[in-house]
A and B are shown apart, each in its own frame.
Chain A
Amino acid sequence: MKNTHKLAAFFAAALAAFAGFVFSACTDNDVHATLLESSETLVVIQADATGGSMQDAMAKLKEAGQITYEGSESEYGFYITSVNGYTPDASKNEFWAVYTTLGEYEGVTYSSAEYTYNYKGTSCASASYGISGLPMVEGYLYILTISTM
């Protein structure tokens, strides 16, 4: 019985050590993006080069004092709570929605045309990922806007 406990303790320690690996996604912080529009309810970003995520681009714009945003990390990535000081009104079922012109890229679909947002005649599809899961690809538009359910 004692041997079983020792064996179980050994496996528990091995499992804990194995699962304790620190893992993080590789991100490229060298982002080149232009802020096309920024208001309380709309932020439009254009990628000038490929690399990094939309979150990296927003962080760079925040650092430059062009936009402000707040949020928290979640299992599904970064969760935005406010942009440019505006927090969605829960009583009106508002939320910050992400739209992009980036469709399929390297075999992965990044947006769904089931919901769209029209920006100056350009149709942007609802993003399948949050800002931390959207890669910046040169020439594509990335939009944050207030939507309602």
Chain B
Amino acid sequence: MNAKKIAACAVMVALLIAVQFALSFVSGVELVTVLLLCFCYTFGAACGMLVATAFSLIRCLLFGFVPNVVLLYLIYYNLFALLFGSLKKHKLPVWVCPVLLSLLAAGSAYFAIAGIPISILYQNKIRIMFWILFGISAALLLFYIILILCHKKSKELTSITALAAFCTVLFTLLDDLISPLILGYGAEATLAYFYTSFLAMLPQTICASVSVFILFNPIKNILSKICPDPKKKLLMD
């Protein structure tokens, strides 16, 4: 890791904290996923994990030191960095994207139809969000199928978007596990926490899908100029 990479890591940590703070006033909108994803993809897992750890700890200065949140961030974002940091070297198998998108679409449609035992005041909102997530997953799946049928090589964007959406769902599920354990919730309170967490999970997943699909290529191109691909550099030389 050279000085340029360390400086890039520092700038990215500052950017992540600034973006998270700025968007904390807008409910359901977050850009941390797309920014960290692009950074890890371009700079690799080591730099990504350094940024993930620094971000998880330094953000406490702004948002306060909440043990369950710190633990959740440290675990999730490091695994996230490891996953997306290794994607450049190890390409995703072709079946991963359709499987993840089918799971997301089927799960969303099921819960939209069956409903979940959440406050009657939230049921319409939750149902609409499940249908939106179903629409996004189905549209991405259709897009991926069209790319395969047209024998296009640029299927990467759809796969990355599907993986990002799936990871966002896992973030909430991990929180549903960590927070009740640390806060000492009983079975009843844990179940209530689980159902209420859908209120945060759905808009975040929708936002992650849309932002990654739209911003992944532009941000990746900007970051690639800071950290050129060694293979491409050799070819140019």
- Tell me the A residues contacting B by CB distance below 8 Å: 1, 3-4, 7-8, 11-12, 14-16, 18-19, 21, 23-27, 53, 72-77, 105-110, 112-114, 126, 128-129, 132-135
B210 an interface residue at 8 Å Cβ cutoff? Answer: yes
- B32 at the A interface (CB under 8 A): no
Could you tell me if B139 and A18 are in contact, using CB atoms closer than 8 angstroms?
Answer: yes
Residues in chain A near residue B28, CB distance under 8 A: 75
Query: When the two chains form their complex, are residues B117 and A109 in contact, meaning their CB atoms are under 8 A apart?
Result: yes
In the complex, whether B169 has a CB less than 8 A from a CB of chain A is no
Query: Are A11 and B128 in touch, CB under 8 angstroms?
Result: no
* Distance from A95 Cβ to chain B, minimum over Cβ atoms (Å): 12
> At the interface, yes or no: B113 with Cβ under 8 Å from chain A?
no
- Which residue of A11, A26, A27, A134 has the most chain B CB atoms within 10 A of its CB atom? A11
CB distance from B81 to the nearest CB of A (A): 24
Identify which of B99-107, B186-194, B225-233 touches chain A: B186-194
State A30–B203 Cα separation when bound (angstroms): 28
Query: In the bound complex, what is the Cα–Cα distance between A75 and B118 (angstroms)?
Result: 14
**How many interface residues does chain B have, given as a range?**
35 or more
Give 14 A-B contacts (CB < 8 Å), ordered by A residue. Answer: A4-B147, A8-B143, A15-B140, A19-B209, A19-B210, A21-B132, A53-B121, A75-B199, A77-B199, A108-B120, A112-B186, A114-B189, A128-B196, A133-B122
User: Which residue of chain A is the closest to B201 with respect to CB atoms?
Assistant: A75
Cβ-based interface call for B17 (8 A): no
Flag whether B200 is at the interface (Cβ < 8 A): yes
Complex interface: chain A residues within 8 A of B125 (CB): 23-25
Q: Is there contact, CB below 8 Å, between A109 and B188?
A: yes
Centre residue among B122, B147, B186, B206 by max chain A CB count within 10 A = B122
A75 and B119: CB pair below 8 A? no
Least CB distance, A132 to chain B, in whole angstroms: 7
Q: Is the CB of B132 within 8 A of A134?
A: no
Q: Which residues of A contact B214 (CB under 8 A)?
A: 12, 15-16
